[in-house]
A and B are shown apart, each in its own frame.
Chain A
Amino acid sequence: MQPLRLAEAAPSPTPGVQSTRNRLLAALPVDEYQRIARDLVTRPLRLRQVLHKHGDKLTEVYFTGRGICSITNAMEDGGMVEVATVGNEGFIGIGAALGDSIASGEAFVQVQGDAAQVMSVEAFRREMDRRGAFYDLVSRYTQAFVGLVMQSVACNGLHSAEERCCRWLLMTHDRVEQDEFALTHEFMAMMLGVRRPTVTLVMAELTTAGIISHVRGRVRVVDRPGLEAASCECYKTVRALYDRLLPAAH
């Protein structure tokens, strides 16, 4: 399977200087961030690295930078379905914000990007209990994340494979921040929980319509407005939700 990869490697943060590529941490007041930074350990993420499995007791929370992490649900037949993605706007380990620190779903690195800033669950809970800016940002992100998963329930139940493929392409396009990225039909079919021929058919239709071009494991978004028009309203709904609840990208 062709891995998805960012074109350029992200510059590593200058040693000694408190910097973060995570928008949630970046939105903290300086003094709060400096306090929290003492509990953060920078750790690179490998492609396909599994950050947690369903039902695991969480020990660490990952504040991710650029790149994409996928939250999936593993099915009993060995397959999986993607229910949400996390980029630099949030963190992996929502369970830590919801009390008993049990992992929901399986999280793995889908597109390799920046190193993550890792925090222990104890430190995370301690910061949450302060009920300060960190708590507010994490709560808002949790709400946005739950909203995204809820939208996935609705979208998967109501919308056609074509609309869902378009939504998935749009979200990936937003996250990788470049027009061309590696993508195989198998991978997309797996993420959407549909059959591979369905994906092939949809991709062929989109190519014919001049919305994307698709050669040997790589996709290029040619007509972004066209792609938005072909997608269901779920893309816009989630986008509006994230814009409303989360700190703006700089």
Chain B
Amino acid sequence: MLQNRTGAVRPSSARCTLNMIAQSPNRLLAALPADEYHRLIPELHSIHLQDGERLPHCGVARVYFPERGFCSVRKVMPDGRAIEIASVGNEGVVGLSALSGPADDGCRNAYVQIGNGSARFMLLGAVNRELAQPGTLRRLVERFSRALLESIIRSAACNGRHTAEHRCVRWLLSAQDRIGRPQFELTHQSLALAAGLKMSKVAIVLRRLSKRNIVETAGGMITIVDRAALEQLACACYDRMKRDRDEALPAATAHRPGGCTNIVQLVPDIVCSRCHSAANLPHDSEHECIISIDAEMRVLMTRTAKLHALRKTLVDERLRVMRDYLAKAQARLSS
């Protein structure tokens, strides 16, 4: 790849644009202009999250940008009962102090991953530093914050007026939207916690839904079989919240094609139609094609050599650690 370790693209030609930065599926990050995103890359750390896992240090020392799966922001009451306040998927960010509400006034906040997935996190201090200066990130975060407040207001209303079934259905539909597949990890307990209902109530609702062949539950997984029927059962709150969420999304994702893939793009925007190389465009003769192919191969070979060297150092280090460990274990056994 024509990409150095800091993520900056090596300019192979002034006339072609290469699109080779590892893009985040988080749409808020994807909407950042390239230079701002580059500046943030060293601060953004990737993390894999299991379904039901607490986001480590979220809201205390870290801020998370969900990528796959989503984060359920919950309030845990003094008596231990919990309820979902909001859910944030790849359209936003969780853990910002301005939006975490009360942290030490009797009710704790809990940030729980739903569906196996991944996220990027940033230290709270670094985010606050970024947000202190005017820029796209600040604008996007402010806009997202308002949309989040909107959805919280709507949840308050829905919880106040609508039935347990409505709330479960709303949650299932938005979970499917966010996870992006009809089958995902879900236990009665996690749905009960998310909807703020008793386990028995959730069991009844899910039973009723599966009897009508709308969902199937087995082995800690749920499958939404009949999405249309589920939508029929939902209250207006689902549509409204989805619409608000979509409207709040930055429209500026167009300049970054493949904004929802985490794979480094292999094909540059503009390539020569004959040799498919992006270097030194345009190529007027076969001779120029050969030269640019050579140039690209040199870059790739240098990169491969560097990776080889890096791999060797890492393997050596790992072997040394294992040898030390074995030596110590042997010494313990013989003594």
Contact = CB atoms under 8 A, between A and B. Distances in A.
Interface string A170-205: 000000000000000000000011100000000000
B153 A149 contact: yes
Contact of A240 (B105, B152, B154): B105
Contacts of A154: 75, 77, 83, 85, 107, 196
A99 B139 contact: yes
A147 B102 contact: yes
Contacts of B149: 94, 98, 104, 146, 149
Interface string A51-82: 00000000000000000000111011101110
Nearest to A191: B160
A153 B85 contact: yes
Contacts of A80: 157
A7 to B, nearest CB: 30
A104 B153 contact: yes
B156 A73 contact: yes
Contacts of A84: 153
Given A73-B153, A99-B143, A233-B78, A156 B159 contact: yes
A71 B156 CA distance: 11
A95 interface: yes
Given A143-B97, A233-B77, A75 B161 contact: yes
A72 to B, nearest CB: 8
Contacts of B154: 73
Interface in A132-147: 139, 142-143, 146-147
Given A75-B236, A98-B145, A154-B85, A83 B196 contact: no
B335 to A, nearest CB: 58
Interface string A90-102: 0000110011101
Given A100-B142, A237-B107, A83 B101 contact: no
Contacts of A218: none
Contacts, number: 131
A100 B251 CA distance: 14
A151 B142 contact: no
Identify which of A100, A129, A156 gathers the most chain B CB atoms within 10 Å of its CB.
A156
B29 interface: no
Nearest to A83: B156
Given A71-B153, A233-B78, A241-B102, A153 B145 contact: no
A99 B86 CA distance: 20
Contacts of B107: 151, 154, 233, 237
Of B143, B149, B160, most A-chain CB atoms within 10 Å: B160
A105 interface: yes
A79 B235 CA distance: 14
B250 to A, nearest CB: 11
B311 interface: no
A244 interface: yes
A152 interface: yes
Interface in A96-132: 98-100, 102, 104-105, 129, 131
Contact of B77 (A76, A149, A158): A158
A16 interface: no
Contacts of A152: 156, 160
B145 to A, nearest CB: 5
B106 interface: yes
B98 interface: yes
Interface in B125-167: 132, 134, 139, 141-143, 145-146, 149-150, 152-157, 159-161, 167
A99 B142 contact: yes
B195 interface: yes
B146 A104 contact: yes
B34 to A, nearest CB: 22
Which among A94, A139, A147, A153 has the greatest number of chain B C-beta atoms within 10 A? A153
Contacts of A15: none
A156 B160 contact: yes
A143 B101 contact: yes
B101 A146 contact: yes
A98 B157 contact: no
Contacts of A73: 153-154, 156-157
B263 interface: no
A80 B155 CA distance: 13
A153 B161 contact: no
B146 to A, nearest CB: 4
Give 10 closest A-B pairs by Cβ, nearest first.
A99-B142, A193-B160, A157-B196, A147-B101, A157-B159, A73-B157, A156-B160, A156-B159, A193-B161, A98-B146
6 contacts: A81-B157, A104-B149, A150-B85, A150-B101, A153-B83, A238-B105
Interface of A: 71-73, 75-77, 79-81, 83-84, 94-95, 98-100, 102, 104-105, 129, 131, 139, 142-143, 146-147, 149-154, 156-158, 164, 192-194, 233, 236-238, 240-241, 244
Given A146-B98, A193-B160, 13 more contacts: A75-B236, A104-B149, A143-B99, A146-B99, A149-B149, A151-B101, A151-B107, A152-B156, A154-B83, A156-B156, A157-B196, A237-B106, A240-B105
